[in-house]
Structure 1
Amino acid sequence: MEAINQGDVKFTISDNGIATVEFFHPLSNSLPGKVLAKLANTITELGGNDSVKVIVLKSTGDRAFCAGASFDELISIKDLDTGKQFFSGFANVINACRKAPKLIIGRVQGKAVGGGVGLASAVDYCFATRYADVKLSELAVGIGPFVVGPAVERKIGLSAMSQLAIDATEWRSADWAREKGLYTDIFDSIEEMDEAIQTLANKLAKSNPEAMQLLKKVFWEGTENWDQLLAERAAMSGKLVLSDFTVNAINSFKKK
């Protein structure tokens, strides 16, 4: 099976209303369009489910949270509409997190690249392990973090986001990400992190749903234009991915 047809998203809902959304892909939890679409739809559906009190977003495995865009799918894009559609997948996931009337807890157990950093930025409260280094690698393959940029900038500020975007081949440590506000706390082991997530999720499951919904609206004030903004950013990336520079850069990365 081709890489772009692999991967999936699953979810569970506990008796006390904690919904756990888990995405996976054999290539370091990369995100082809199929997975992006299901992830956005799942978050939206759970946000509208009255039995859900809080959402936990996670991926499978130990050391890779998310490798970002699928290189195999990027290299297969041959026209502007297809490119815009693919990058709109990331926009849809970010907007689904933004619009969901439930607080979302992020669980970042390992490295996050590109769209993975965008996911970590789009949740409302994010835990990580000390292995959860971050990198915005888009410029290194001729694109730029245009779609995830607003979410990352909102969470860690323009200065820190620009550092990641400009020095696109260098990892920043989990400690750095915590200092900038991306992660709330980091842990030495997945077990310790999961215990902290469970504790917080249980507290939120007992909290006033209306108060949490209003609080989330406050957190996301000023982002009401993101449907249009992220669509415009997706078109920018969709155009750049067609360039000879980007095609050659992606092929070089795939050979490493």
Structure 2
Amino acid sequence: METALREAWEEIRLPPDAVEVLGLLDDTATRATPFIITPVVGIVTRDVKFQADGREIERVLEVPLETLRDPNIFRTELWEREGTPHPVHFFTVGVVTCETLLVTVADGVASVTLNRPEVRNALNATMIGELEQALGALEADPGARVIVLAGAGDRAFCAGADLKGMGERGTTLQARESFGGLARILEAMARMRTPVVAKVHGFALAGGCGLAAGCDIVIASDDAVFGLPEIKVGLLPLIVMAPILRSVGRKRGMLMILSGEQVSAREAFDMGLVSRVVPRVELDAAVDALARTLAGYSPTALGLAKEAATTATGLEYSAALRYLREMLTLVAMSDDAKEGIAAFFEKRPPRWSGR
């Protein structure tokens, strides 16, 4: 709760000493799905001025309770009660609650942590479903300008699929559907306009290796280990072949796939699977600094950069150049580009509108 309230204070420029916490809203309807919001409810105890996006707010309109059940809402909601010596402003802060994930949003950075450390954050059906929903919700949240994907615990980013559940997939059609979740996540990460940064420590194996490869940027600690060991148990990393081969090429990718050998973080960097390697003790700081830098850039430019990179790599060279010329026109004519250039000449921080 403290983290959520701190985010609220930062978001609306609310002095902490003006807040009285009333507690958690016990709304059973919000707990009917595996991906929910637990609203933190508070009251402003003295007359203060609210701001949003740098602009002062004179009045905050009422927000219906139904919005609290909307999993796309992560940021602060406010409403005002009349008939008091000064306006009493109630607010709620959405805290995302999942069984297998930890999700927070602060200062434009969304942190999504795979939270099954007892099994090295192995992917089961619940985690895949929650991760798919979390990515969709964060993509729709304007307060999340960059997403950091990490693993809980000291041992692993993600050790791949939970093998204990592999034999419980029912019919062939049911098994086919269960395998579709990871494919949808990888496709969503490529398609979404929000940059995704993987923070990798320890083991990143099988589906975990593919999940990291599917991110836009991979920052790994020097103790990280990558590998595709599926062939050792008669399986194949078929879903994750798509991001792996696009990252490292066919020859190096096939060596990983057919041998099942593990590679160090430095080897993974040399292969093109990792963007940057840092000492383990510097991993958190390095990723935080990068994420905050990205969150400070134009969301329009970030989104178009992702779209352009994803599309252009699938085109023939001349077609890619023609396509990128059109994309350059879009970004150059955007409101954010005009604002960025004006801010540069006026020697002030830009005020991005996302348009």
Aligned residue among 110, 129, 142 for 1:19:
110
Structure number with the higher strand fraction is 2
User: Does the 8 Å CA contact 2:227/2:256 hold for their aligned counterparts?
Assistant: yes
C-alpha separation between the residues in 2 aligned to 1:89 and 1:33? 8
Alignment equivalent of 2:124, drawn from 32, 57, 60 = 32
Which residue of structure 2 aligns with residue 197 of structure 1?
Answer: 287
Equivalent residue in structure 2 for 1:212, among 302, 327, 333: 302
Is the aligned partner of 1:176 residue 2:299?
no
Identity rate of aligned residues, in percent? 29
| Preserved CA contact (<8 Å) 1:63 1:132 | no
Structure 2 CA distance, aligned partners of 1:40 and 1:172? 28
TM-score, normalised with respect to structure 2:
0.59
> Could you tell me which of 147, 150, 155 is aligned with 1:58?
150
TM-superposition CA deviations, 1:125-174 (whole Å, max 9, x none): 11011221111112222221110100111111111111110002x21111
| CA contact 1:65–1:112 (8 Å) conserved in 2 | yes
2:173 counterpart SS class: helix
Per-residue CA deviations over 1:210-249 (Å, capped at 9, x if unaligned) read 010000012212688xxxxxxxxxxxxxxxxxxxxxxxxx
Taking the TM superposition and a 5 Å limit, the aligned residue runs for 1:1-256 are: 8-14=100-106, 16-25=107-116, 26-168=118-260, 170-189=261-280, 191-221=281-311
CA distance in 1, matches of 2:211, 2:164: 20
Moved over 3 A (4+): none
Amino acid across the alignment from 1:20: S
How far apart in 2 are the matches of 1:223 and 1:202? 27
Q: Distance in 2 between matches of 1:108 and 1:68?
A: 13
In 1, Cα distance between equivalents of 2:202 and 2:270:
17
Aligned CA distance change for structure 1 residues 131 and 113 (closer, same or farther; 3 Å): same
Matched-pair contact (CA < 8 Å) for 1:7–1:23: no
Paired residue secondary structure (2:114): strand
For residues 313 and 120 of structure 2, the distance between their equivalents in structure 1, rounded to whole angstroms, comes to: 30
Q: Is the 8 A contact 1:63 1:131 kept in 2?
A: no
- Calculate the aligned-residue CA RMSD, in Å: 1.6
Contact 1:67-1:116 at 8 Å conserved across structures: yes
- For the residue of structure 2 that corresponds to 1:172, the secondary structure is strand
Deviation at 1:87, TM superposition (A): 1.3
Counterpart of 1:48, as a letter, is A
How many equivalent pairs are there?
Answer: 216
Secondary structure of the structure 1 residue equivalent to 2:143 = coil
Instruction: Measure, in 2, the Cα distance between the counterparts of 1:223 and 1:116.
Output: 24
Whichever residue aligns with residue 134 of structure 1, its letter is F
Q: Distance in 1 between matches of 2:312 and 2:259?
A: 28
Q: CA deviation at 1:7?
A: 5.7
Q: Is the 8 A contact 2:139 2:193 kept in 1?
A: yes
Quote the offset at 1:49 in angstroms: 0.8
Larger helix fraction of residues? 1
**Partner amino acid for 1:212?**
L
| Conserved? CA contact 1:59–1:66, under 8 Å | yes
Q: Secondary structure at the match of 1:75?
A: coil
Q: Cα gap change, 1:7/1:66 in structure 2, threshold over 3 Å: closer, same or farther?
A: farther
Check the 8 A contact 2:114/2:158 in 1, yes or no. no
**Structure 2 residue ranges without an equivalent (≥5):** 1-97, 315-355
Matched residues in 2 for 1:223 and 1:41: separation? 27
Q: Which string of whole-angstrom CA distances, capped at 9 and with x for unpartnered residues, describes residues 46-100 of structure 1?
A: 0111111111011101121111111111022242122112211211211121122
Equivalent residues of 1:57, 1:105 under 8 A apart:
yes
Q: In the alignment, is the contact (CA less than 8 A) between 2:114 and 2:151 conserved in 1?
A: yes
